[in-house]
Amino acid sequence: MAYTLSKEDEALREQIRKMALEKVAPRAAEIDREGKYPWDMQKLLAENGLLGLAIPEEYGGSGASMLSNCIVAEELARICATTSLIFVVQKLAAYPIVLAGSEEIKKKYLPPVARGEKLAAFCLTEPEAGSDAGATATIATEKDDHFVLNGKKCFITNGGLAEVHSVFAMTDPERGIKGISAFVVEKGYPGFSAGKIEDKMGLRGAQVAELIFEDVPVPKENMLGKRGDGFIIAMKTLDNSRPLVGAQALGIAQGALDVAVDWAKKRKQFGSPIGKLQGIQFLLADMKTKVEAARQLIYRAATLCDENHPDISIFSAMSKLLASDVAMSVTTDAIQVMGGYGYMKDHPLERMMRDAKVTQIYEGTNQIQRVVIARRLLGKL
What class is the 120-229 domain?
mainly beta
Please tell me the least confidently modeled range out of 102-106, 173-177, 190-194: 173-177
Looking at residue 5, what is its pLDDT? 85
Looking at residue 133, what is its pLDDT? 82
Tell me, yes or no, if the two domains 7-114 and 120-229 fold the same way: no
Looking at residue 131, what is its pLDDT? 85
- Using one digit for the tens of pLDDT, what is the confidence trace for 226-239? 999 999 999 999 99
Q: Flag whether pLDDT at 2 surpasses 80.
A: no
The domain ranges of the chain are 7-114, 120-229, 241-378
Identify the CATH homologous superfamily for domain 241-378: Butyryl-CoA Dehydrogenase, subunit A, domain 3 (1.20.140.10)
pTM of the full predicted structure?
A: 0.96
Residue 132: band (very low, low, confident or very high) from pLDDT cuts 50, 70, 90: confident
Rounded Cα gap, residues 28 and 23, in angstroms: 9
Q: Flag whether pLDDT at 4 surpasses 90.
A: no
Rounded Cα gap, residues 79 and 229, in angstroms: 38
- Using one digit for the tens of pLDDT, what is the confidence trace for 50-94? 999 999 999 999 999 999 999 999 999 999 999 999 999 999 999
Looking at residue 380, what is its pLDDT? 78
- The single-letter code of the amino acid at 89 is V
Which residues are annotated as catalytic? 363
Rounded Cα gap, residues 27 and 29, in angstroms: 6
Q: Flag whether pLDDT at 15 surpasses 90.
A: yes
Looking at residue 1, what is its pLDDT? 55
Asked whether the CA dihedral 37, 43, 44, 49 is positive or negative, the reply is positive
Share of the chain above pLDDT 70, in %: 99
What class is the 7-114 domain?
mainly alpha
Looking at residue 56, what is its pLDDT? 96
The CB-based long-range contact list for 300-303 (8 Å cut-off, 24+ gap) reads 300/1, 300/3, 301/242, 301/243, 301/246, 302/65, 302/66, 302/67, 302/69, 302/70, 302/243, 302/247, 303/3, 303/66, 303/67
